[in-house]
Amino acid sequence: MVDVTIEILVSGIVQGIGYRPFVYNLAKELDLKGSVQNLGDAGVKIIVQGLKEILDKFIELLKENKPKLCIYESFQVNWETTSSLFESFEIAKSSSETKGIGFSYLPPDVSICDECLQELDSKERRRTDYPFNSCVDCGPRYTVIEKIPYDRPNTVMTDFPFCSECNKDYKNSDDRRFHAQTTCCIDCGPKYTVYSSSNEEISFSSQKDLVRFIAKEIEDGKIVAIKGIGGTHLACSTLDDEVLIKLREAKGKRKYKPFAIMARNVEDIKKFANLNSEEETLLTSFRKPIILLQRNEDYYLSEWVAPGLHNVGVMLPYAGIHYMLLKEMHEPTVVMTSANPSNYPMFIDNEEIKERLDYVDYFLLHNRRIYQRNDDSVLRINKLGERDSTKFLRRSRGWVPEPLLSSIDVGASTYLAIGAEMHLIPSLMKGSKIIPTQHIGTVTLLETYDYMLDSIEHILKLYNTKIDAIAYDMHPQYLTSTNIEEIAAKFDVEEYFAFQHHEAHIASVALENKINPEEEVIGLALDGTGYGRDGTIWGGEIFTGSVSNLTRAGHLEQYALPGGDLAVKYPIRTLTSLLSHTYSLDEVTTIVKPMTKYLPRGMDELELIIKQIDRGDFPKGFLTTSSGRFLDAVSSVLEICQEQTYEGEPAIRLEGLSLSESSNNNLPKLSIPYSNKNGIYKLEVSKIFPDLINLRSKYTKAALGYATQQALGRSLAEITIELSNDKGIDNILISGGVSLNSIIIGEIVNKLTLNQKKIFTNEKVSPGDGGISVGQIYMLALQQSK
C-alpha cells in the first residue's frame, strides 16, 4: 500500500492552548509521521504521512477531540501521493510564514486549572505553594505575549530560562506541560517578594510563608498592593469598616464607589449573595470575571464594600496567588480593587507601584513583566423577558482578544474604531472578525491616551496588519476626536470618519445579532451623554431606519444642565432645571431650598442656578435629552443620592433601592406623557415631578423610584409599538448604559413581547460606551462597502 502525505492548515484558536502537543500525541498514537508547526499568522501547519484510512481517522479525531479551548475557523486539507519523507513525527520550530488560510487568534488569559491547583497542595517540591504554577491548559496568555508565533522566546517568560527539570517537563510528550510556554517552577520561574511601606524587602524562607504573613496582615487591618496577571490590586478586609474607609480616603475619588471582592469559593459567596445557575456558571468558568450579585438577607460584609447598593461585585480566585492567600485567611473574602487612580492606566511596574501607592502598608510584588495590562471583566445577569441575559459592564480579562463575527466581510482591508471617551475599548476589524482590545478606561489623561495607542499597536502587531481607515466619535471635545489626525498619522492612515454616538450604540446591537444591514429597525439608545447631530447632548433617543441610515424619530424632552459637568456631579442642578418646566421659578426655589445643603455654596448657588435658568442662555453643550441625567434628577428629588462620586451613581443607587419594591402590587400609578409633533415623538419627563413631589409623604422612596423607572420604560415601549405598527418594523434594538437598568429594560421588554416584537440587545460587548467601537467599526465597514 502507498503512503499518502497530507498538509493540514488550521486557523482559529490553535496557538497557546496545547494544540501542537495534542496533534503530536495523536500522530504518535496512530503511528503517523510528519510535523506540526506554529505559523506567523497564529495558524498551525500539519504535515502528516501514512495510510489513507489512518489519515482519515487522524482528521476525524483532530476535529472531535481537540483541546477544550480550541476553535477552528478554517480546516483545510490538501492530499497528495508521495514517497517517504519523514522518519518520525515532530514539533517543528515555529515559522514566521503566513498562509492566509483563515483568521487565527490567541486565547485569552486563562484561570489556573484544577490540576495545577492540586499541585499547590501536593508534596511535589518544585510546585507546592508556587504561585505561578501553570500548564498547557491554563495561565496567562494575552498579558505575556509580545508577538506571534506563541513561543516562549516571544513572551515575557524568555526572562526565565528553564531549569533542567522544567526542560524535561516541556519536552515530555506525556506531561501536560509538553510545549506549555509558561512552564516554570520555584527553581527557575518568577517569584513574589514582600516590601514594607518604607520600601524595605522582608525576607521569608518560602512563598508560602510570605503569603501567610500577608494574609495575617490583611486580617489585622492592613492594606496590601498585590501585583497579579494583568495589573495590581489593593487588598484589605471586607469586614473592617476602618480600613475600608481609610482605603476610600487614600484613593481619593472612591468616596462611595463599590469595591470588587474575591471569595474563596461558591459556598462562601452564597452566605452573603444570591446566586443563580447562570451566574455560577460564569463565576466558575475559566474566564473568572467579576459578577454583580444581589445581596441576600444574610449579607454580613461591611457596608463600606459597596455603600448604598443592592449588589456586590464578586469574583473567584483565578491565579495561584489568590488561592494561596484565601487558603491562609480565616475570612473567606477579601477586597480586590484596582490600585490605579480613576482614569489612570493600571500600575504594572514595580517601582511605580511602590512610588504611587504611598498609603499602602505592604507590597506583594513579583518579578515577571506584564506586557499588556488587562483589567478584570465585570458582568451582571439581567432578566430579558423569560430568559437570563448576560450584560458586560467591562469586557477585558478572560475575553480579550477573542473576536466577534460580523455578517459582512471587509476582505483584505483592516479598520480601526477608537470608541468614544469613557470606558474606552478600541476595536480592529479584519475580514469578517472584529477584535476589541482590553478595557482602556476613560481617556482624559495623556497617560491613558498613550496606553490606548499602545494597546492598538500591540493588537496590530499580533495580527500583522495595517489600518486602512479609522472610525471615531463626532464629539468635538473628546481627546480621541481632537487628536484624530495625530492617531491617523501614527498608524499611517489617510482616511478617518466620525460617527454619531447613539447610532453607533444601535449598530453594535445589529452587529452582535447579525441583523440584515438593509433591514429597517427601531433603535432605543439610552445613556447619559453623547454628542448629537444638532450639537446638543443626546441620551434618550429613538431611531428608525437601516443601521447605516438611522433617523431620529423620538427623544426625551430637551432640558438644560446648569453648569454643564457640575450638573452631573450635583444632580440638584438638573432637578432644578427640570422643575422649571412645570413650576414657576419662585415655586422651584421653594421646592429646592430644603435641599441646598447638598450644594457646595448652598442657597447662594441655587440663586445663581435660578438666574441662569431665567436667562435661558445655555450653550448647546448644556442642553440635553439624556435619560441618565433624568434618572439622576429623580434620585435627587427622592433624596437618594445628591452627589455623584462615581459615574452613574445617582441612577445606580436609585435602581438599587427601588428593586426592593419589585414584588409590590400597590405602587403609585405614575406616567410620563409623550407627544408627536411633525413625526417626532417627545417624552415629557418633566411632568412626572409634580406627582413625585406630591406623593413623597405617602409612599417610600423605593416605591416612587420603582414606579418612575417603570413609567419611563412603559412610555418608551408605547412609542416603540406605535412606530412599529405605523412603519411595519418588528426588530427592536436596545443599547446604551441606561439599558442596564433592570426595571426600565424589564418594562420595555415585557410590553414589546406582549405585542410580538423581536427584541435585540448587547450580550457580547457592553451596552455602555465600552461597546461603542464595535458599532463604529460596523458602520464604517458598511460605509466602505458601498
Catalytic site positions:
20, 38
Among the listed residues 677, 554, 704, the one whose alpha carbon sits nearest the alpha carbon of residue 625: 554
- Please state the φ and ψ torsions of residue 184, each to the nearest 5 degrees: -170, 175
Residues, the chain: 786
Residue from 289, 283, 248 nearest 269 by CA: 283
Contact by Cβ (8 Å): 738, 712: no
Can you tell me which residue has the cell 400597590?
Answer: 666
- 695, three cell numbers: 406623593
Separation CA 726–CA 425 (nearest Å): 37
- How far is C-alpha 217 from the chain's CA centre? 31
The three-state secondary structure class of 627 is helix
- Residues linked to residue 416 through DSSP beta bridges, in sequence order: 428, 470
DSSP conformation letters of 245-311 = HHHHHHHSS-SSPPPPEEES-HHHHTTTB---HHHHHHHHSTT--EEEEEB-TT--S-TTSSTT-SE
Contact assessment for residue 599 and residue 570, using Cβ atoms and an 8 Å cutoff: yes
Cell 501514512 maps to which residue? 50
Give yes or no for a contact between 513 and 778, defined as CB atoms under 8 angstroms apart.
no
Distance of CA 555 to the CA centre of its chain: 28
CA 370 vs CA 24, 140, 329, 402, 464: distances in Å? 31, 10, 27, 19, 21
Alpha helices in 659-700 (DSSP H): 689-695
Give the H or E element holding residue 73.
Answer: strand 71-81
- What does residue 398 show for φ and ψ, rounded to 5 degrees? 95, -20
Pick from 435, 470, 353: nearest CA to 142: 435
Can you give the C-alpha Rg of the chain in angstroms? 28
Sort 290 into a burial class: Cβ within 10 Å, 0-12 / 13-18 / 19+: buried
